[in-house]
Chains A and B, each alone.
Chain A
């Protein structure tokens, strides 16, 4: 108790001591706008929305979610107080009540004859609409690069959509829904499958990339498992296979689509240190497995977890993949 009182007195005295030098702040009485180096605080005017305020004060209307998330609202009444953070205060998303995690959904094939590995177009549409209706924000997989460095705040309830293998059904069934909802997605293709009977063509991929929503990234050359040497494969041959499987699709995609390569999807989700070293040498920034789960800011960038979405799952099961916050008392 004596220590407590001593500490309280010390803090109180400290409060009376000379204030430290803080950045200068401005107040604009006419607009009831208050600005510091950290925040803009204002009363919303008629017609102000998170997007218009984001454009005005953050320089980008697409950052509307920064204002929505900080104020915990979707719209403002005229006169309502709005606080706009001017910098990322918690880019790692770790709070006293838990921490942010980003689920990465993994689809494969789409078709009307749904089964475990084939999701029906109707189910996919329903799942994407579920994301929209429940305030999930579908982000690009590249947004994770800086999040995982602790440099970038992501929206609350951020989620990434990925489609593996490069089936033509991604273009036929998934792309129209993604385009309608404005959701970005990454398709991981293995280059030997491009142009095959049920595989995407370069032309289809070019069209999807041109939409600005779809990113194409490597999923190896032949879809062979890179996690271990095949029976009868000696070490030198295995190392050569790792090189071919990670380099050839990089070259093919760059050449045919003229887009940067940043993320690798391991065939069957399997990897090891040799494969990861090769990816690092090739300047891949991220790599994804199929270990189920969501990713915190401290996730290992070359072994990001993904949750497979199967055709026989109902919407409740789908919703369970969407863990965007891990509750835990960190006080």
Chain B
């Protein structure tokens, strides 16, 4: 730190002395301002840029100081003093940037990433054209973001142990996990996670659509497995959460109801021969699922008549 301060003051002193030695005849306008861009005379602008250059150097902003000297050289191409200032500043920058880069690389070798990052950034602030410094910083950054990514993947893989830092994050993770499970075909898991999210955000259309789709997919799976009652219950849920187009779910529900009604009808028919009570229950169930099942209605009436007749005989 002390060495840096000494270097800075030595450099300022050198600029001041050389400025005195090579001072051109601008002494008729001394109204220099720190900001050179307001309307003013050419001499005033020159003085303002000079003041800015010295001020930048004094504050250790050497790259900015160098720009000011270069602007002054554009304004006064015949004034050699600005060429000298440019060269001196460039040499100073080169020396300091090399020091900072070496310090950064040494810290990098020791695995001290915070120090390495700071020193390499300092080198780049002095000399933004150092591509090897940029590359070294990129390697540090790569390591940083990669560690974050690996931690996230580990967290996703061990979902049971998920712990989040705030309610919002936790709910978001429910949604993300639910979406992930849906993509992976775990529809029951998706329903479970999205329902947790919806407990906090019941109006979220995207979540409602996702849970509706999950219920619908679950229903299709269960139907293929012959679990028609579960399939019907889930397609009813899918319909309940449908946000826009419920026609598909309605159609699936009606098909399931008809299939279930047909199954109960067949069961009723089979029972009609030896178990009248079961036959009536089954045919009633068939009509419950499909009130328009005319065959079931007719067979139910027939079964009820038979039951009545049997009752009269038993009396």
Binding site for B on A (CB under 8 A): 3-5, 7-8, 10-12, 14-17, 19-20, 22, 24-27, 32, 34-36, 38-41, 43, 71-73, 77-83, 89-92, 94-97, 99, 108-109, 111, 113, 115-118, 150, 197-198, 222-225, 227-228, 230-231, 268-272, 289, 291, 296-300, 303, 305, 310, 312, 328, 330-331
Taken together as a complex, chains A and B put the C-alpha atoms of A302 and B274 apart, in Å, by 73
Whether A92 and B134, one on each chain, are in contact in the complex, defined by CB atoms closer than 8 angstroms, is yes
Whether B71 and A41, one on each chain, are in contact in the complex, defined by CB atoms closer than 8 angstroms, is yes
Name the contact of B137 in the complex, choosing from A89, A230, A298 (C-beta under 8 A). Answer: A298
Take A15-B21, A19-B84, A96-B61 as given contacts and tell me if A303 and B118 are in contact as well, using a CB distance cutoff of 8 Å.
no
Closest partner residue, chain B, to A269 (CB atom): B152
CB of A249, distance to nearest CB on chain B (Å): 15
Whether A12 and B203, one on each chain, are in contact in the complex, defined by CB atoms closer than 8 angstroms, is no
Taken together as a complex, chains A and B put the C-alpha atoms of A7 and B11 apart, in Å, by 8
Whether B124 and A92, one on each chain, are in contact in the complex, defined by CB atoms closer than 8 angstroms, is yes
Binding site for A on B (CB under 8 A): 4, 6-7, 9-11, 13-15, 17-18, 21-22, 36-40, 42, 45, 59-64, 67, 70-71, 73-75, 77, 80-81, 83-88, 91-92, 118, 121-122, 124-126, 128-129, 131, 134, 137-138, 140-142, 145-146, 148-149, 152-153, 156-157, 168, 171-172, 175-176, 179-180, 183-184, 201, 203-207, 209, 244-245
CB of A195, distance to nearest CB on chain B (Å): 14
Take A11-B10, A82-B37 as given contacts and tell me if A36 and B74 are in contact as well, using a CB distance cutoff of 8 Å.
yes
Whether B171 and A7, one on each chain, are in contact in the complex, defined by CB atoms closer than 8 angstroms, is no
Name the contact of B74 in the complex, choosing from A35, A94, A115 (C-beta under 8 A). Answer: A35
Whether B153 and A268, one on each chain, are in contact in the complex, defined by CB atoms closer than 8 angstroms, is no
Whether B83 and A109, one on each chain, are in contact in the complex, defined by CB atoms closer than 8 angstroms, is no
- Residues on B with C-beta less than 8 A from A26 are 77
Taken together as a complex, chains A and B put the C-alpha atoms of A328 and B121 apart, in Å, by 10
CB of A1, distance to nearest CB on chain B (Å): 8
Whether A91 and B128, one on each chain, are in contact in the complex, defined by CB atoms closer than 8 angstroms, is yes
- Residues on A with C-beta less than 8 A from B9 are 4
Question: Interface on chain A toward B: helix, strand, loop, or mixed SS?
Answer: loop
Whether B17 and A115, one on each chain, are in contact in the complex, defined by CB atoms closer than 8 angstroms, is no
Closest partner residue, chain A, to B138 (CB atom): A298
Whether B87 and A298, one on each chain, are in contact in the complex, defined by CB atoms closer than 8 angstroms, is no
Taken together as a complex, chains A and B put the C-alpha atoms of A303 and B157 apart, in Å, by 20
Whether A11 and B146, one on each chain, are in contact in the complex, defined by CB atoms closer than 8 angstroms, is no
Whether A15 and B45, one on each chain, are in contact in the complex, defined by CB atoms closer than 8 angstroms, is no
Whether A81 and B74, one on each chain, are in contact in the complex, defined by CB atoms closer than 8 angstroms, is no
Whether B205 and A118, one on each chain, are in contact in the complex, defined by CB atoms closer than 8 angstroms, is yes
Jot down 11 A-B pairs with beta carbons below 8 A, ordered by A.
A11-B88, A39-B71, A79-B39, A82-B37, A96-B64, A96-B125, A96-B126, A111-B205, A271-B149, A296-B141, A298-B138
Taken together as a complex, chains A and B put the C-alpha atoms of A36 and B36 apart, in Å, by 18
